[in-house]
Structure 1
Amino acid sequence: MASGHQPDVARPVTAPDFLLSRPTGSLRTQGALNSFTDPADAALALRSGASGLIVGAIGFEPDAPAALVEPDVVVRVDGPLEPPAYFRRMRTRAHVTREIPSSSEHRARVSTAIAGVRSGEIDKVVLARAVRLSADQPIDPHAVCAALIDSSPAADGYLVDLSPAGGVHAGCVLVGSSPELLVRRRGDLVECHPLAGSAPRSTDPVADQAAGRALRASGKDASEHAFVVESLARALQPLCTDLEIPDRPTLTSTREMWHLGTRIRGRVADPRTTSLDLALAVHPTPAVCGTPTDEARRLIAAIEGERGFYAGAVGWSDAGGDGDWMVTIRCAEIDADRSGAIAWAGGGLVADSQPDDEVAETGAKLRTILRAFGAS
């Protein structure tokens, strides 16, 4: 059975089409006054004042259709969202039916990509794999999102109706819990928090702390992280003043993973530049693509094919410029008929990467979304 709930609790009539839960402030919306498949059109609508707020998701590829809307009903919350009891009581039950590709094939792909890095063809590339999930009963996206928010130490979670993108995404819903802030703007203050360089956590406290220390000391992971920070700095330079970039990353964590992270701060140079403009300027970062960007994108397309909304951006921006955009990771796209879903996880590859470690890393990252689906 995919899900169940207590019969004395009614389903909320205000279940949102979009939500983004963050510890620093959250937003949920219903309805659409306008929709946009081209992010540039949405950004123009904000700058011109034609739209007061844009919410939704942007795909990995710059020419992929987006799922962005000007919502009808908006609810803002100062802290994280509190999932309704109805969805919290539901238990999704799905199972993995297919790996895309298999672990052995992913290992072979990783080996080929690492060889390309070592030969100088590319500095870094991020390769992902996916798993296909199926359920006997319809999956409720809001129940999955509630489980993601509740299992996140920071109550991070998002849900996006992808119908505005049309095509294969019509009726589908994107859910996830991303720890990675692509860009945030409040007033003239701009912040990014890229994550690159990761290690699985352990249930043993001693081993877990040792894994964190090893990550912090890892030259391979420091190199991988540096590519991301340098790329973001270059992208932000024309748009921001007073950029503050720490010399060294710090250790951050989710329930499943340790990450190296760097908080980049600055001030927007032109007040007309919205958070959506900033997101489009920095996306995709080497944390989900690679460097050089064009070469990495071509390699990903050749090896993986289309990513769709995975490794894109999800968030919101208002006409005043404020907004939050998260990197679309730790996510799944739920089918329009709610019979199944596809979930992704990726890892960055540099010259010192080891194929077995990379396969293990994607497996650890998948645990976030698989737990929310009641799968293993």
Structure 2
Amino acid sequence: MSKVSMSKVKSILDEYELGDFFLSSSKRTIMGKGVFSVVKETRKTKNQIYSLPVRVEEAFEQAKRAGHPHPIVVGAVPFDYSEAAKMIIPEEVKVSSTLVKDSGQPENISLQPCEIQYIPAPAEYMRGVNQGLDKISSGQLDKIVVSRALNFKTKEQIDVKQILKRLEHHNKQGYTFAVDISDVNTIRNKETVLTNGKRILIGASPELLVSKNDSTLFANPLAGSRPRSDDPKEDQRRALELLESEKDLYEHAVVVDMVKESLAPFCESMDVPEIPSLIKTEAMWHLSTEIYGTLKQAETSSLELGIALHPTPAVCGHPTELAREAIYEIEPFNRGFFAGMVGWCDENGNGEWIVTIRCAEVEENDIRLFAGAGVVAGSIPEEELIETGAKFKTMLDAMGIEKQ
């Protein structure tokens, strides 16, 4: 990776151009420019995700033979194992520390939506939550994440760079990202449409799936949420309520247990706190657990670890396969890259992968937002609807659109 001089560049984001890869975290900011090579896609199969690490290794070897000194792969992996990932080796990668991450006060944005569509409509979404609750009460599932989408058309073309700046400014402890998914088939209402223009996956996720540095891994599952309040006393009450909620603590424990179980085969030791802590974004409180592990084999890649975890119960449910099938049955749209993972991996396996939530797909003046809520025994459909509305707020605020 090339390093960016602190004296010359205030923020890598200032250099962003539509189509660049961008990922900003509390540790570093990475931007990939140009396309040196594309990770080869494979024939569509039910579980093509499992061949992705091998295809990435092949891409690394080919890039080095072609003269790339230090290849790094960047991109996005979809929710559905049978759909194609969008992975490239950029021509140039720029990296900066958090000391030069902040690009200052962003410009105000006020997009004017001229068409708005919920998929599904709120009443239908709550019926979907009840379908999930029926599967839980019958013993088929312990948890399911039921999601919805929000489509906008705006009068003007959407300025992705300015939205990214606003997301980063208000998301300093999280992960702000943009990935070009232009040549991937866009899924709308379970119909496949091939897009022509630039289509960008953009978002500000609070959740790290996994990172790997040499022989150390770190995972930070989130599950259990409350919307923030503008009133400080009410906001604190909601935070304390979340910490004491049996429903949310159970939902969180399901996710942590799965993460621990999935990572254990790779680790010679793990440190998993018994009690979750709280983290906050501008829109939400979340229960959080920080998990550290020492790998048995230092060459295990961050991508392999991410695939072993994907999708966690935080975005899918439990048991995973049954929850995924129920999602396909209940949700009237394909998730695409929502609830997938975004990130990077270098030739030594080091890297970080982010859970693709609080996100949207943008193309010219068309944007689709996504939000989901974890449903367990005791969940109330109206509350899950409110939670998804609060999660839309991250992207709506970035676009200067009043909450719908």
Structure 1 length normalisation: TM-score? 0.91
Q: Work out the number of aligned pairs and report it.
A: 363
Superimposed CA distance per residue, residues 302-343 of structure 1 (whole angstroms, 9 cap, x where no aligned partner): 1114210000000101011111110000000002xx011000
Distance 1:13 1:255 in 2: 26
Question: 8 Å contact 1:46–1:318 — kept in the other structure?
Answer: no
Question: 8 Å contact 1:26–1:80 — kept in the other structure?
Answer: no
- 2:35 is equivalent to residue 32 of structure 1: yes
Return the offset for 1:153.
4.0
Superimposed CA distance per residue, residues 253-275 of structure 1 (whole angstroms, 9 cap, x where no aligned partner): 11110100111110121122110
Alignment of 1:26-105 (within 5 A): 26-36=29-39, 37=41, 40=50, 42-47=52-57, 49-50=60-61, 52-79=71-98, 82=101, 88-89=106-107, 91-95=109-113, 97-105=116-124
Question: 8 Å contact 1:80–1:155 — kept in the other structure?
Answer: no
Distance 1:184 1:221 in 2: 25
Question: 8 Å contact 1:42–1:54 — kept in the other structure?
Answer: no
Q: Which residue of 2 is the match for residue 193 of structure 1?
A: 220
Match of 1:241, SS state, is strand
Distance 1:27 1:233 in 2: 28
Match of 1:228, SS state, is helix
Q: Which residue of 2 is the match for residue 309 of structure 1?
A: 337
Cα pair distance change 1:119/1:140, threshold 3 Å: same
CA-based RMSD of the aligned residues comes to 2.0
Q: Which residue of 2 is the match for residue 318 of structure 1?
A: 346
Return the offset for 1:89.
3.0
Structure 1: tracts of 5 or more residues without a match: 1-10
Q: Which residue of 1 is the match for residue 302 of structure 2?
A: 275
- 2:161 is equivalent to residue 158 of structure 1: no
Cα pair distance change 1:360/1:12, threshold 3 Å: closer
Cα pair distance change 1:314/1:102, threshold 3 Å: same
Question: 8 Å contact 1:189–1:265 — kept in the other structure?
Answer: yes
Distance 2:308 2:116 in 1: 37
Q: Which residue of 1 is the match for residue 284 of structure 2?
A: 257
Cα pair distance change 1:333/1:324, threshold 3 Å: same
**AA aligned opposite 1:93:** L
**Among 125, 144, 150, the residue aligned to 1:131:** 150
Distance 1:373 1:197 in 2: 26
Superimposed CA distance per residue, residues 57-107 of structure 1 (whole angstroms, 9 cap, x where no aligned partner): 00001111111101111001122764767x933625142611111111111
Distance 2:38 2:57 in 1: 16
Return the offset for 1:14.
5.2
Percent of paired sites with the same residue: 35
Question: 8 Å contact 1:162–1:169 — kept in the other structure?
Answer: no
- 2:164 is equivalent to residue 145 of structure 1: yes
Return the offset for 1:30.
0.6
Question: 8 Å contact 1:148–1:156 — kept in the other structure?
Answer: no
Match of 2:344, SS state, is strand
Question: 8 Å contact 2:174–2:205 — kept in the other structure?
Answer: no
**AA aligned opposite 2:370:** W
Cα pair distance change 1:291/1:135, threshold 3 Å: same
